[in-house]
Structure 1
């Protein structure tokens, strides 16, 4: 898979110019790349905290550990074993 640097002409909110390169547009968000000398943050593409890049839900490690502990205890008690 290839991700291109080109975009449809987009106006930078930092300097008002139009850009067709993601890299050039993002450069205007840095303090040394815009006339105001202010650092800007691009928003809108971040993942929700409970969603991973692969689209899965982030595992609750404590709940997973509790489930494994309960399952091991059940096996040690002989539950779930069919003869």
Structure 2
């Protein structure tokens, strides 16, 4: 996937509307390619593909309980 002038302008317009640069790039890539997985989009966008083993940045966030052994929710 090669970025065209029109795509670059579209990305700039989307960031002006409040999209992050990555969100704008992904949105334009999806418009150009049609439905795609994150894995399929990662390489052309210069990102690592999503995969298992990545850590959740906030595993005990305010809307989630801590998960103990066995993946079961423990009382907070």
Task: Give the TM-score, by structure 1 length.
Answer: 0.24
Larger Rg: 1
Greater helix fraction, Structure 1 or Structure 2: 2
Greater strand fraction, Structure 1 or Structure 2: 1
Task: Give the TM-score, by structure 2 length.
Answer: 0.25
